Chain A
Amino acid sequence: MKDIDIIKLYFARSEKAIDETNIKYGAYCKCIAHNILCNQQDSEECVNDTYLRAWNSIPPKEPSNLRTYLGRITRGLAINRYKLYSAEKRGGSTADIVFSELEGCIPSQMRVEDSLDEKLLLKSIEDFLRRQSTEKRNIFLRRYWYCSSISDIARDFSVSESKVASILYRQRMKLKEHLESEELI
């Protein structure tokens, strides 16, 4: 079913909207959740919460890109659940490693307690992404938006794992340099 027709079901308050969303985007949302949570049951609960959020927000929202809209919700819910597990010391996941990798992008002059204007930071990150080649940008976002493993990225882009690691390292260094040059503090 096309996205526009699924959204029409939401607007009509038909529960078929959830079924159709699950058919078309269930696997996509589960992938995002599992990359972060590494647990089947938690991932399924997270995806169910995603559908509930979608149901409660459409309408009035009318997403132009339903897949990304749902993916964003799932990502946010999965991270919140992951933080809860971290607080309860229930063990780490790929998120631990991804956060640790992104620490390397923080400008040297920033301290942990420093905060930034979110809009400025977002604009700066998008400026950075815009300047990268398509392949490098996609690899970067597969890792730091989708939390995909190095091996999954290597398989999907038909490159070696060492090349993926190399690209990610360089991209993180470039992002750091970019944020430092923007004087965001």
Chain B
Amino acid sequence: MKGEDLFNALGKIDEKYVEAAAPKKVAFYRKSVFKGAVAAAACLCLIAGGYSVASVLTARDGNLPEISYTLVMEGMGYEGTDELALSNSQDINPWNEDIKLDKLPVYKNLCYNEGKLSQTYFNILELKKQAEDLADKLGMHYGNTQISISHDQEIYSFSLETEKGTVRAFPKGSNITVRESDFTLIEKHMQSACSKNSNSKAETGVYNEYSVDGELLTSKTRTYYKSGNITEDIISFNMQSHYLTESGNYITGSSDNYLNGSEKIGDYPVISLNKAKEKLLRGEYISTAAENYVEGGKITEDVIAKADLIYYTMGNQEYYLPYYRFYVKSYSGDSDFQRYAYIYVCAVEDEYLGEITVFDGSLQ
């Protein structure tokens, strides 16, 4: 059975339901994106100016809704990294500067909880079921769990204690903590949680964080499943990665699943890296960087160390969109190592973006 079969079956339901749901106001025939005379005049100007019409005149896809939002960036200090972390980490991001993309998917986060730190959507019973389903899949046994629900309680996780360790379910993923001797459960969790098909291969990299003195603080192993399709790989890397962290005799395997409780709203045209860089240099970007983070207070080409393409998923976001993330040399304070601030430029073409919080380039 396919979705179309279900659609056809719905066509035969009792007319009383159909009648009750009938549109009260009838709106049809969307306005044409092109207004013929204006488009023709634009063509003439562009041809005279030596530009390719096809490269400049793009029809806005009327099926794609405009996106208005505020990118929520929380935490202490500013987002960034340093040269030690960069040189000692294995970056497995499938995107690189040679890859040319026309479109990327955008997702609406149904768990978005406006003005709050935590995300809610699934109620505690649903999170409990997610945790129990995961424990069952991994063969981890648990007893009966008594819970009480408070109507004003913000539910953002559910923990289940089993004989082999802890299982936790979140709106956007899950994790298990087990003894080192039960490492096979970690692998089983990763294989069950990450999106993959028969052609997918696990890609693993290590990401390290250091103190200002160069001491290794954390080392995190990150794995995602790569299929060979660049768009799928970008989504898999950003939305469904698996992490390993060790603490004493215990290992925690965490699986992100930002597609859970999210809905794709469309495949949106994206700008090139060069265009994103032009916007950055004009001051059209988003950043948590502190005042005077760049010498002279203005970003120039020579302080941009590298760029990658990511989906911003940290914290409580209303949408998951692709961004170009630029690594900009910044004030390093007491550190012996060069620090880089993360500067973000949304990759979706401007004509699909409504109101968006943008850092205008001036010092805070």
- Give residues in A with beta carbon < 8 Å to B: 27-28, 30-31, 34-35, 38, 40, 43, 64-65, 67-69, 71-72, 75-76, 79, 94-95, 97-106, 110, 112, 114-116, 118, 121-122, 125-126, 129, 134, 137-142, 144-146, 148, 150-152, 155-156, 161-162, 165-166, 169
Contact = CB atoms under 8 A, between A and B. Distances in A.
A112 B2 contact: yes
B3 interface: yes
A105 B121 CA distance: 19
Contact of B7 (A35, A139, A140, A144): A144
Nearest to B2: A112
Where chain A touches its partner, the secondary structure class is helix
Interface in B216-255: none
A145 B18 contact: yes
A31 B23 CA distance: 9
A99 B11 contact: no
A72 B65 contact: no
A142 B11 contact: no
A95 B12 CA distance: 17
B20 A99 contact: no
Contacts of A165: 108, 110, 263, 265
A31 B3 contact: no
28 contacts: A28-B22, A40-B29, A71-B18, A72-B12, A75-B11, A94-B63, A97-B63, A106-B2, A115-B5, A116-B5, A118-B9, A122-B9, A122-B13, A125-B6, A125-B9, A125-B10, A129-B17, A137-B20, A141-B10, A142-B23, A145-B21, A152-B23, A156-B25, A162-B108, A162-B110, A162-B112, A166-B110, A169-B110
Contact of A67 (B22, B25, B112): B22
A76 B1 contact: no
B258 to A, nearest CB: 15
Nearest to A142: B21
B355 interface: no
A14 to B, nearest CB: 25
A115 B1 CA distance: 5
Interface of B: 1-15, 17-30, 63, 65, 108, 110, 112, 121, 263, 265, 318
Contact of B3 (A76, A106, A142): A106
For the complex of A and B, 10 pairs with smallest distance between CB atoms:
A102-B3, A141-B21, A103-B3, A99-B3, A68-B15, A138-B21, A34-B28, A102-B6, A27-B26, A31-B26
Contacts of B17: 126, 129, 137, 141
Contacts of B5: 115-116
B28 A72 contact: no
A126 B18 contact: no
Contacts of B21: 137-142, 145-146
A152 B22 CA distance: 12
Nearest to B110: A166
Contacts of A38: 30
Nearest to B30: A38
A169 B28 contact: no
Nearest to B11: A75
B9 A121 contact: yes
Contacts of B6: 102, 105-106, 125
A152 B65 CA distance: 12
Nearest to A26: B26
B19 A68 contact: yes
Contacts of B10: 125, 141, 144-145
B13 A129 contact: yes
B18 A141 contact: yes
Contacts of A99: 2-4, 7
Nearest to A95: B7
A67 B21 CA distance: 12
B211 to A, nearest CB: 41
Nearest to A39: B29
A112 B29 CA distance: 34
